[in-house]
Amino acid sequence: MSQDFNQILQQYSGLLGRVAASYEANHHLRQELLQEISLAVWQSLATFKGDSSLLTYILRVAHNKAVSHVAYHAKYPRNDSYCEITHASESQTLNSESHMQQQQQINTLLDEVRKLPIQTRQIVTLSMEGLSYQDIAEVCGIQLSNVGVILNRSKKVIMEAMAHVR
Amino acid sequence: MSDKPLEHEVDAAENSLNSLWQQQQTESVGIESIKRKWLNIKLKQRVYFVVDFVGVLFMVAVCYFAFDKMGLFAKTWMAILTFFAGATAVYFSYLRRFALNWSNEGTGSYIEQLKKQLKSNIRIAKLNRDMSLWMILAIAIFYVGMFYFDEVVLETAVRKGLISLAILAVFTPPFWLWANRRAKRFTRELMLLEQALDQDKI
């Protein structure tokens, strides 16, 4: 693999980390998922032909790998005691109150996102990444008209949950 | 005054949500660990490939070295078994390529493909499990047939048949358990995927 691929992976590592976080709450499994997603993206870059934007291409590959993870990890017992760390960043103590409040909001946001059905979760997270309705429809493989409907309903639910944290 | 939020308030709330989302701390993965994982996967796949074909090569070797000593029934039976073993090994190798998979199609169609793949994995695992029992029958028919068509005497058929069945008695139970566990695992994976797709908490 060329050096370019490595640079692209580094450039999108935050994005890939957020995809992994939206599918897996367990810290260890999330890291494993992130590694699987990164490997899939790294492999897929060789066949990127520029038919779509690189961002939507990477997100398609990343979300598809994450969906496989949801099914595959049926083999593991979903026991909370498997890993006590659910939010990795909680261990990194943040000193100011505003930071702590922000962290709490992020954790609530992640919890709410993970409660969503897969397709809805994908639409919401892609929207929060700043993708247009057109791009979201392309990544999810759904009709453009459905994006707005699903997004409005689900964001309302999330924002209501977030309002309780503030 | 209406409780309904104004449009600019909704936009501001959405922007703050997007900003919050993008501020979350994420782990990163080093390129070296990805390369190591890729090498491990490739190595494992090669080992599986070799294991798949070892049994077939053994049967081909038996056919090659003992073909002249076999009667017509034994030749036919061995040829059929070798063909099925070869076809199974090729099919397994074909399926294993999915282990390295990634997909850039829309997630909707990818999910349909994933479900089909899991259903096919369940069928294959069940087929493997049942084949291990059919193998006992195939060996029994092999020796009964050879005796029936006068290709071996009764004593030889019984002795060789019992030896073969004793070998199968060692290998069949773990193989059956392994295949059964795989069938259950894929069934559970499919169920979990369908649950995740069906859940409607909004």
Indicate if the pLDDT at residue B199 is higher than 90: no
Tell me if domain A1-84 and domain A94-166 are identical in fold: no
* HEC per residue, A80-133: HHHCCCCCHHHHCCCCCHHHHHHHHHHHHHHHHHHHCCHHHHHHHHHHHCCCCH
Which of A2, A7, A15, A39 to substitute to test the interface with B, most B CBs within 10 Å?
A: A39
Contact (Cβ atoms closer than 8 angstroms) between residue B196 and residue A117: yes
Q: Which of A157-166, B18-27, B89-98 is predicted most confidently?
A: B18-27
Is there a contact between B29 and A38 if contact means CB atoms under 8 Å apart?
yes
Q: Please, which pLDDT band fits residue B7 given cuts at 50, 70 and 90?
A: low
Tally C-beta pairs within 8 A across A and B: 169
Which of A64, A94, A107 to substitute to test the interface with B, most B CBs within 10 Å?
A: A64
Considering the domain delimited by B105-202, tell me its CATH architecture. Orthogonal Bundle (1.10)
Indicate if the pLDDT at residue A57 is higher than 90: yes
Per-residue pLDDT tens over the stretch A102-160: 888 898 999 999 888 888 999 999 999 999 999 999 898 888 888 999 998 898 888 88
* HEC per residue, chain B: CCCCCCHHHHHHHHHHHHHHHHHCCCCCCCHHHHHHHHHHHHHHHHHHHHHHHHHHHHHHHHHHHHHHHCCHHHHHHHHHHHHHHHHHHHHHHHHHHHHHCCCCCCHHHHHHHHHHHHHHHHHHHHHHHHHHHHHHHHHHHHHHHHHHCCCCCHHHHHHHHHHHHHHHHHHHHHHHHHHHHHHHHHHHHHHHHHHHHHCCCC
Q: Averaged over A33-44, what is the pLDDT?
A: 90
Distance from CA of B47 to the nearest CA of A (A): 21
pLDDT at res. B9? 66
User: Exposed, middle or buried: residue B88 (CB in 10 Å: 0-12, 13-18, 19+)?
Assistant: middle
pLDDT at res. A82? 43
User: Which of 1.10.1740.10, 3.40.1190.20, 3.60.20.10, 1.20.120.80 is the CATH number of A1-84?
Assistant: 1.10.1740.10
Instruction: Pick A29 or B91 by higher pLDDT.
Output: A29
Indicate if the pLDDT at residue B202 is higher than 60: no
Indicate if the pLDDT at residue A59 is higher than 90: yes
Q: Please, which pLDDT band fits residue A77 given cuts at 50, 70 and 90?
A: very low
Indicate if the pLDDT at residue B93 is higher than 50: yes
Domain positions in chain A are: 1-84, 94-166
Is there a contact between A140 and B106 if contact means CB atoms under 8 Å apart?
yes
Q: Averaged over B92-106, what is the pLDDT?
A: 73
User: Which of B13, B34, B101 is nearest residue A38 as measured by Cβ atoms?
Assistant: B34
Is there a contact between A67 and B110 if contact means CB atoms under 8 Å apart?
yes
Least confident of A18-22, A120-124, B120-124: B120-124
Q: Averaged over B13-32, what is the pLDDT?
A: 84
pLDDT at res. A15? 93
pLDDT at res. B169? 92
pLDDT at res. B189? 87
From B98, which residue of chain A is nearest by alpha-carbon distance? A68
Instruction: Tell me whether B40 touches chain A (CB under 8 Å).
Output: no
Instruction: Tell me whether B192 touches chain A (CB under 8 Å).
Output: yes
pLDDT at res. B45? 81
Per-residue pLDDT tens over the stretch B148-188: 999 889 999 999 999 999 999 999 999 999 999 999 998 99
Q: Which of B8-22, B39-53, B138-152 is predicted most confidently?
A: B138-152
**What residues of A are in contact with residue B110 (Cβ under 8 Å)?**
64, 67, 141
Indicate if the pLDDT at residue A75 is higher than 70: no
Q: Averaged over B103-124, what is the pLDDT?
A: 84
Instruction: Tell me whether B104 touches chain A (CB under 8 Å).
Output: yes
Instruction: Pick A83 or A2 by higher pLDDT.
Output: A2
pLDDT at res. B107? 84
Q: Averaged over B46-57, what is the pLDDT?
A: 86
Output the six-digit token pair for B28: 């990163």
pLDDT at res. A86? 45
Is there a contact between A158 and B192 if contact means CB atoms under 8 Å apart?
no
Q: Kindly report the CATH number that applies to the domain delimited by A94-166.
A: 1.10.10
